[in-house]
Amino acid sequence: MHLFSTIAEVRNFSEKVKVSGKSIGFVPTMGALHDGHIELVKKAKAENVVVICSIFVNPTQFDNAEDLKKYPRTLEADCELLRSANCDAVFAPSAEEMYEEMPRLAFDFGNLETVMEGKFRKGHFNGVGIVVGKLFNIVSPHKAYFGKKDLQQVAVVKRLVKDLNFGLEIIPCETIRETDGLAMSSRNRRLSTQGREQAFNVYLSLKIAQEALKMGSTVVHAKAEVERHFKNLPQFAIEYFEIVDFETFEPITLFNPDRQTAICTANYLEGVRLIDNIVF
């Protein structure tokens, strides 16, 4: 497995692969890899000849300096995992390599920036748009793989690809969960043993609301059920819990079983921000 730290090296590698007529699958990550990432790599490997994974903790997408500082950085262990998943090349640049100067580019992703992740993480999607756009230009893949745990991010990236005519396909991949339902995330490792044991409540809250809706409850009632659940769990602090239309991401007032609905949440436990969603 190749390990590249400069744009020139990975670009050269990608060009050679393409000249030889082989397809490239790309998995962009911020490292601290877990089985969820490895599933993306495996899927990319099943659908392409060559897989490139990037590991870059992107400063422009953090609205909170402390969160950026605390983001786990585990390059050696990540490379071990990627090697065993048959990844062909890793691109792990420094911040200076990626940003010679801080970009002034500003995207407008419409309502994606004003609801849920967009609302609570100001500038986050702009930073995602900038780095993903740069990575697509550098790596030039045929397909790029993203986890559905970051549902709004998938929508933002699709928009970016469409609006800027990146000639590649976005492949959204299912959220990978621990046996108790907790969505796999690099942030989970910041939880204490006790926190980790309780974290499944985030997923459970989505299922509670989903069940309530399926049984005919109103959206207001489904959300009230979730609030009631967390009344006895004061260690959790819900940032948002929204029931939205999957296409528009607009909050709904009435559940329509004929349209796809997404239940999305961000919830703090021990200062760790856990996000999750279900679409049905």
Using CB under 6 A as the binding rule, whether residue 161 contacts ligand PAF is answered as no
Which of residues 56 and 230 has its CB atom nearest to ligand PAF in the complex? Answer: 56
Pairing of strands 143-147, 169-173: parallel
CB 263 within 8 A of CB 276: no
- Using CB under 6 A as the binding rule, whether residue 131 contacts ligand PAF is answered as yes
Return the SS3 of 233: coil
Reply yes or no on whether 37 is catalytic. yes
Interaction between residue 61 and ligand PAF (CB under 6 A)? yes
Smaller CB separation from ligand PAF, 213 or 275: 275
Residue span binding ligand PAF (CB under 6 A) among the ranges 7-15, 25-33, 112-120, 237-245: 25-33
Residue 58 in the binding site for ligand PAF (CB under 6 A): yes
Written as six digits, the tokens of 110 are 């419409």
- 144 sits near ligand PAF (criterion: CB under 6 A): no
The one catalytic residue among 2, 37, 124, 221: 37
Q: Are 229 and 267 in contact (CB under 8 A)?
A: no
Q: How far apart are CA 92 and CA 17, in angstroms?
A: 19
The residue from 78, 117, 150, 276 that contacts ligand PAF (CB under 6 A) is 150
- Return the number of the residue (58 or 175) whose C-beta is nearest ligand PAF: 58
C-beta closer to ligand PAF: residue 60 or 210: 60
CA dist 229 and 236 (Å) reads 11
The answer to whether the beta carbons of residues 233 and 201 sit under 8 Å apart is yes
Site membership for ligand PAF, residue 175 (CB under 6 A): no
Residue in the block written with tokens 């390990």: 3
Question: Using the rule CB under 6 A, is 29 a contact of ligand PAF?
Answer: yes
Indicate the length of the chain as a whole number.
280
CA 31 to CA 3: how far, in whole Å?
14
Instruction: Write down the residue that tokens 């745990």 correspond to.
Output: 149
Question: Smallest distance from the beta carbon of 155 to ligand PAF, in angstroms?
Answer: 13
Percent helix, strand, coil in the chain, to 5, is: 45, 20, 35
> What CA–CA distance (Å, rounded) separates 1 from 223?
48
Q: Which stretch binds ligand PAF (CB under 6 A): 8-16, 26-34, 176-184, 212-220?
A: 26-34
Applying CB under 6 A, what is the total number of residues that bind ligand PAF? 10
User: Considering the rule CB under 6 A, would residue 201 count as an interface residue with ligand PAF?
Assistant: no
- Per CB under 6 A, does 113 bind ligand PAF? no
Residue numbers annotated as active site: 37
What are the residues binding ligand PAF (CB under 6 A)?
Answer: 28-30, 58, 61, 128, 131-132, 150, 153
